[in-house]
Amino acid sequence: MTRAMAAVLLGALALAGCAEKTQQVSYSKGRYAGKPDTPAWAGNEFKNSRADWERAIKARNLRQNEYERTSGRGG
């Protein structure tokens, strides 16, 4: 009985892999035809300023630096 159930389960798992849809990127005339990406700095938080975004990323990276955090010099 358990062998039959194991065979059915194995068969079901094998067939489940066949139902995967292909994930092809569509290009038309050499250009990407998908959803356009917005820049990370676009929005209200950085007021569409790339410089503000870069400063925020640098500050975040410093806060993740263990040497800066434990020495008392960091923010």
Ordered by start, the domain boundaries in the chain are 38-75
Round the CA-based radius of gyration of the chain to a whole number and report it. Answer: 25
Instruction: Quick: pLDDT tens for 26-35.
Output: 767 777 777 7
- With CA atoms as reference, report the closest residue to 40 among 23, 17, 56: 56
What pLDDT, in 10s, does the model give residues 10-67?
777 777 667 777 777 776 777 777 778 888 888 888 888 999 999 999 999 888 888 7
Are 75 and 63 spatial neighbours (Cβ–Cβ below 8 Å)?
Answer: yes
- 39, 50 in Cβ contact below 8 A? yes
In angstroms, the CA 71 to CA 58 distance is 18
Amino acid at 31: R
Position with higher pLDDT, 49 vs 74:
49
